[in-house]
Amino acid sequence: MKQPGAKRRTGSDRRNRVVRQIASWCLAYPDAELVRRVPMLRCALAEQGTEERGDGENSIGGLGRFLDYLEGTPLGELERRYVDVFDISRRHALYLSYWTDGDTRRRGEVLAGFKAAYRASGFLVDTGGELPDYLPMVLEFSAVADPMAGEQLLRAYRPSLELLRIALIEGDSAYADVLVAVCATLPGASPADRAAVQAMAGGPPTETVGLEPYDPRLLPMAGGV
């Protein structure tokens, strides 16, 4: 006999996977193929509905608005804005462990943990020359390859996701809608500010980029290094 709510959980899991896959594509460097996919992505979102979570948020978030942005902006402008947001400044780093470890020696061990999770899934993960903590890659891994291990990685680096979300909102970037949707696929409401993110991470406030390093290696992760 199925437990009450099992169907709803299954629907939520499916919705989260769809949102994460779409977000993965949207956070990658924009190209003509992404723009051509927009009608398909709209259909995929429409099929998921807009069911709200208990905290009033929904995992669809502003992805529809972001798709409007993709369709309504010339490709050259999309490319320029992407570079301005993600490549020129580290304020919007798409590498999850950058927010927790920066450019430190410890980061090598952390990146090995991501690789171990990919190997343990049994899927061949093509990094395409990117570091294994590259957010679009982690999102696609969670959506397609191993939802459980992917969810574990996203939860372990929830503070990184929330800091990126806050930074994009402060920068008035269209990409903020994508991060809001990603964060809404995880349990609980998003922290309101950086101090609340620090509390979530269990670390004190800091004036440097990202967080005073907490240790996600202490959290469970699929596979071994």
Determine the pLDDT at residue 121: 77
Segment 130-140 shows an average pLDDT of 91
Range with lowest mean pLDDT among 80-89, 99-108, 165-174, 181-190: 99-108
Task: Reply yes or no on whether the pLDDT at 143 is more than 50.
Answer: yes
More confident residue, 115 or 216: 115
Determine the pLDDT at residue 166: 94
- Cα–Cα distance, 189 to 209 (Å, whole number): 23
Q: What pTM does this model have? A: 0.79
Residue 161's nearest CA partner among 219, 41, 169 is 169
Residues belonging to the chain: 225
- Say if residues 161 and 181 touch (Cβ distance below 8 Å): no
Reduced to 3 states (helix: H, G, I; strand: E, B; else coil), residue 134 is: strand
Segment 87-105 shows an average pLDDT of 81
Domain ranges in the chain are 6-218
Range with lowest mean pLDDT among 18-32, 51-65, 95-109, 179-193: 51-65
- Cα–Cα distance, 26 to 175 (Å, whole number): 8
How far lies 149's CA from each of 38, 130, 144, 168, in Å?
Answer: 28, 19, 11, 26
Convert the pLDDT of each residue in 160-181 to its tens digit.
Answer: 999 999 999 999 999 999 999 9
Residue 56 structure tokens: 């009033």
- Cα–Cα distance, 134 to 115 (Å, whole number): 11
Determine the pLDDT at residue 211: 46
Residue 93's nearest CA partner among 164, 162, 155 is 164
Determine the pLDDT at residue 6: 41
Radius of gyration, alpha carbons of the chain: 17
